[in-house]
């Protein structure tokens, strides 16, 4: 009878591997249930970086162009950092100059991808949320310029300058150099058939460090938005590499479930 009783009662303890498997399943389910889209802390991290980064980018651009105007230049740290105002009508490294609508469309797609990645990530990946917030801020900063800083390229008097329309006289456009200085009332008349408006990204940060004689370490002028994009994409690349090299981390459950 004792043998019959022992068979009817389950063992008091489970094997160690069974406990480990159960814990793993519970942990997996917990990560799935904790979507960053439903996490207040995740939203705070993501949107705080996005808002602060966007404010820093737009504020620094306005400051630089009102202080130095077009073509301004100042050495901040010799051979390390300079401020040099200029416009970029293209993308990174000046590629695709004048394709404003194409770049705006690409920026919108990138923003949608960033938001999708944030919603699909787990709440535990706080560094990823900071990176995605930085990418969002950088993309919005440069997209703002392409939409709202649309200027005309003028060669009046042999000098290349970017101007904005302030009025119209007949078929001629009344122009003033960007940014408008209210203490300078000078303006020019340009036939509307001779100019074309294009979105301009404002750049002002320059690294003049030179290697091997006259070879510049980084010959391009950039802005805070570009810095945020490089930081965010770099962190994102590390995450993707780690996910590929190791066991995949469970994604958060879709927000609609």
pLDDT of the chain, 257 residues: tens digit per residue: 444 444 445 444 444 443 344 334 434 444 444 789 889 999 999 999 999 999 999 999 999 999 999 999 999 999 999 999 999 987 655 555 657 788 888 889 999 999 999 999 999 999 999 999 999 999 999 999 999 999 999 887 778 899 999 999 988 999 999 999 888 878 888 888 888 889 999 999 999 998 877 888 888 999 999 999 999 999 999 988 887 766 555 555 555 44
The label of the residue with tokens 């609508």 reads 101
53 shares its domain with 105: yes
74 shares its domain with 134: yes
170 shares its domain with 95: no
76 shares its domain with 54: yes
Q: Does 12 reside within a domain?
A: no
Contact 252, 37 (CB under 8 A): yes
What is residue 183's predicted lDDT score, i.e. its pLDDT?
Answer: 82
Q: Does 4 reside within a domain?
A: no
186 shares its domain with 100: no
Range of the domain at 131: 33-149+203-257
Model pTM?
A: 0.79
135 shares its domain with 160: no
What is residue 106's predicted lDDT score, i.e. its pLDDT?
Answer: 87
What is residue 104's predicted lDDT score, i.e. its pLDDT?
Answer: 87
What is the secondary structure of 80-122 as a DSSP string? TEEEEEEEE-SSGGGTTTT-HHHHHHHHHHHHHHHHHHHHHSB
87 shares its domain with 181: no
119 shares its domain with 193: no
What is residue 44's predicted lDDT score, i.e. its pLDDT?
Answer: 96
Q: Does 248 reside within a domain?
A: yes
121 shares its domain with 226: yes
């Amino acid at each position: 009878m004792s043998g019959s009783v022992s068979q009817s009662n389950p063992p008091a303890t489970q094997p160690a591997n069974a406990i480990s498997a159960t814990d793993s399943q519970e942990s997996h389910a917990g990560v799935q249930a904790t979507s960053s889209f439903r996490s207040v802390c995740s939203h705070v991290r993501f949107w705080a970086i996005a808002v602060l980064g966007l404010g820093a980018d737009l504020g620094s651009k306005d400051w630089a162009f009102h202080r130095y105007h077009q073509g301004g230049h100042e050495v901040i740290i010799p051979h390390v950092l300079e401020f040099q105002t200029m416009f970029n009508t293209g993308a990174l490294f000046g590629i695709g100059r004048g394709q404003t609508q194409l770049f705006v469309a690409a920026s919108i797609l990138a923003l949608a991808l960033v938001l999708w990645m944030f919603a699909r990530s787990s709440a535990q990946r706080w560094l990823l949320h900071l990176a995605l917030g930085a990418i969002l801020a950088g993309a919005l900063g440069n997209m703002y310029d392409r939409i709202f800083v649309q200027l005309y390229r003028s060669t009046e008097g042999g000098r290349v300058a970017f101007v904005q329309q302030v009025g119209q006289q007949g078929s001629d456009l009344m122009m003033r150099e960007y940014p408008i200085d209210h203490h300078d009332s000078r303006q020019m008349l340009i036939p509307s058939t001779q100019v074309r408006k294009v979105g301009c990204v404002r750049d002002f940060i320059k690294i003049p460090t030179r290697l091997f004689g006259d070879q510049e370490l980084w010959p391009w002028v950039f802005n805070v938005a570009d810095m945020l994009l490089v930081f965010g994409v770099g962190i994102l690349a590390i995450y993707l590499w780690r996910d590929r090299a190791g066991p995949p981390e469970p994604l958060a459950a879709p927000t609609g479930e």
